[in-house]
């Protein structure tokens, strides 16, 4: 039985805890938060043996064999590196860190420890997305010409005017850290490496809240693309990815406000007289459950496989560091109003 400790009481208790509890090979034995009394009470309600007010106590507990981290990006590197230095596998949230230095430190720690690491990029775990990936991979669309990704929602932090890492760019947050990191990861998963980008970030009027971004992209394959994301769109159009190839077109779309539940897939080859439409009504499991749990559970299973058998599960810290580089490039493009060329990823973090 693998003893798991979770650092972080929000996403950690609402998503990571039920996700780890879907796998009988592990038991969540400790939860760490910033307030010892509050965390102890939460742990008791959730039937977790130990609730702690200090993450160091959790990481150094000999009964904790693996550590899952769900805290703001600027705090994550210290916890992850501490756990890896003690030989413990680590499951982290996206983005990897607040900046390139933090991401690099985590990647080096993972490489030196040799222990399994994984980052919670969870959209590719959805069956609808895996089906889309298979259609692209089998050549149905032919050579990719252009991709358009749009994601227009109003998240709770923006709607409620909360001041947190999710709304402020400082500390690895804002629209890039909270949302666009997913997009940069899945666009490379679908389309191959991004070789250049340029664009602008937008702050809401009379506010520090980072509300949106518009990026132009070019891929190493020669395909072009665009990415537009807004987390301040009341009754927004949802999440949509359009891929246009020489021989066909594919559209993956979710018009709902639920980030993971509601995707449909349409695709057609040149010469078809109608779209082929595929629906995935139950891909996130129980409709009463948080839709994030099912895709995260798939990452948990791979993580635990590696804990038992060795190897490095995907996506790991190398993929997280790659996305951190792309986030940094987007920030540099915004600040300089210039196009940024992106090197094709090699064996480590670009500098």
CATH number at residue 101: 3.40.50.720
How far is it, in rounded angstroms, from Cα 312 to Cα 324? 19
Asked if residue 320 is part of any domain, the answer here is no
Q: Average pLDDT of 15-33?
A: 98
* 333 domain residue, yes or no: no
Please check the confidence at residue 107 and state whether its pLDDT lies above 70. Answer: yes
Tell me: pLDDT of 80 over 60.
Answer: yes
Are 214 and 112 found together in one domain? no
Segments forming the whole domain that contains residue 117: 2-122+294-314
Q: How many structural domains is the chain composed of?
A: 2
148 and 8 in a common domain? no
Of 68, 74, 237, give the one whose Cα is nearest residue 151: 237
Mean pLDDT in residue range 320-336: 97
> pLDDT by residue (tens digit) across 229-267?
999 999 999 999 999 999 999 999 999 999 999 999 999
Residue 305 sits in the same domain as residue 249: no
Question: Is 350 within the bounds of a domain?
Answer: no
Kindly give the pairing relationship between strand 248-254 and strand 194-203: unpaired
Question: What's the chain's average pLDDT?
Answer: 94
- Is residue 227 situated within a structural domain? yes
Write the pLDDT tens digit of every residue in 116-141: 999 999 999 999 999 999 999 999 99
Instruction: Say what the pLDDT of residue 350 is.
Output: 47
Does residue 7 carry a pLDDT above 90?
A: yes
Q: Are strands 224-230 and 238-245 parallel, antiparallel or unpaired?
A: unpaired
Instruction: State whether residue 52 is helix, strand or coil.
Output: strand
In a domain, 271, yes or no: yes
Same domain, 28 and 137: no
Give the residue from 262, 284, 306 where a domain finishes. 284
Same domain (yes/no): 239, 193: yes
Residues 198 and 92 in one domain: no
Q: Of the candidates 7, 50, 11, which has an alpha carbon nearest to the alpha carbon of residue 178?
A: 11
- Residue 346 is predicted with a pLDDT of 65
Is 150 in contact with 237 (CB distance < 8 Å)?
A: yes
| Length in residues, the chain | 351
Greatest mean pLDDT among 24-33, 204-213, 286-295: 24-33
272 exposure class (CB count in 10 Å sphere: 0-12, 13-18, 19+): exposed
Same domain, 133 and 277: yes
Q: Are residues 131 and 273 in the same domain?
A: yes
Nearest C-alpha neighbor of 27 from the set 71, 88, 68, 83: 68
User: Is residue 351 predicted with pLDDT exceeding 50?
Assistant: no
- Pair of tokens at residue 271: 């010469």
Q: What percent of the chain has pLDDT over 90?
A: 86
Residue 210: pLDDT band by 50, 70, 90 thresholds? confident
Is there a contact between 128 and 254 (Cβ–Cβ < 8 Å)?
Answer: no
In this structure, the answer to whether residues 140 and 275 fall within a common structural domain is: yes
Q: Is the pLDDT of residue 205 over 50?
A: yes
Same-domain check for residues 213 and 225: yes
Are residues 146 and 280 part of one domain? yes
Instruction: Note whether residue 323 is domain-resident.
Output: no
Question: What does the alpha-carbon distance between residue 293 and residue 285 come to, in Å, rounded to a whole number?
Answer: 9
Q: How confident is the model at residue 170 (pLDDT cuts 50, 70, 90)?
A: confident
Establish if 159 belongs to a structural domain.
yes
Same domain assignment for residues 182 and 220: yes
Burial of 183 (0-12, 13-18, 19+ CB in 10 A): buried
- 70 pLDDT higher than 70: yes
Q: Would residue 343 count as lying in a domain? A: no
Burial (CB count within 10 angstroms: exposed 0-12, middle 13-18, buried 19+), residue 216: middle
């Amino acid at each position: 039985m693998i003893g798991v400790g979770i650092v972080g009481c929000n996403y950690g208790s609402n998503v990571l805890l039920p996700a780890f509890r879907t796998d009988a090979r592990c038991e969540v034995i400790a939860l760490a938060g910033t307030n010892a009394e509050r965390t102890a009470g939460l742990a008791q309600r959730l039937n977790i043996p130990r609730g702690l007010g200090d993450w160091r106590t959790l990481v150094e507990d000999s009964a904790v064999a693996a550590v899952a981290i769900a805290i703001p990006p600027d705090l994550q590197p210290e916890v992850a590196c501490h756990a890896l230095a003690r030989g413990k596998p680590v499951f982290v949230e996206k983005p990897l860190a607040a900046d390139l230095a933090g991401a690099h430190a985590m990647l080096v720690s993972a490489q030196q420890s040799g222990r399994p690491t994984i980052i919670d990029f969870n959209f590719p775990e959805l069956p609808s997305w895996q089906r889309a990936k298979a259609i692209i991979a089998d050549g149905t669309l032919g050579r990719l010409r252009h991709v358009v990704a749009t994601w227009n929602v109003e998240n709770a932090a923006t709607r409620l005017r909360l001041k947190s890492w999710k709304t402020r760019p400082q500390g690895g947050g804002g629209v890039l850290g909270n949302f666009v990191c997913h997009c940069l990861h899945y666009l490379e998963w679908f389309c191959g490496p991004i070789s250049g980008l340029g664009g602008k970030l937008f702050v809401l009027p009379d506010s520090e809240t980072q509300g949106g971004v518009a990026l132009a992209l070019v891929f190493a394959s020669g395909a072009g693309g665009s990415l537009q994301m807004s987390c301040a769109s009341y009754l927004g159009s949802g999440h949509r990815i359009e891929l246009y190839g020489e021989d066909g077109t594919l559209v993956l779309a979710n018009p709902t406000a639920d980030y993971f539940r509601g995707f449909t897939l349409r695709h057609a080859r040149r010469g078809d007289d109608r779209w082929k439409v595929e629906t995935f009504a139950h891909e996130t499991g129980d409709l009463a459950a948080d839709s994030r749990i099912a895709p995260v559970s798939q990452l948990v299973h791979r993580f635990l496989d590696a804990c038992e058998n060795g190897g490095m599960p995907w996506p790991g810290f190398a993929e997280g560091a790659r996305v951190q580089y792309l986030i940094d490039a987007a920030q540099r493009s915004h600040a300089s109003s210039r196009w940024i060329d992106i090197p094709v990823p090699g064996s480590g973090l670009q500098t």
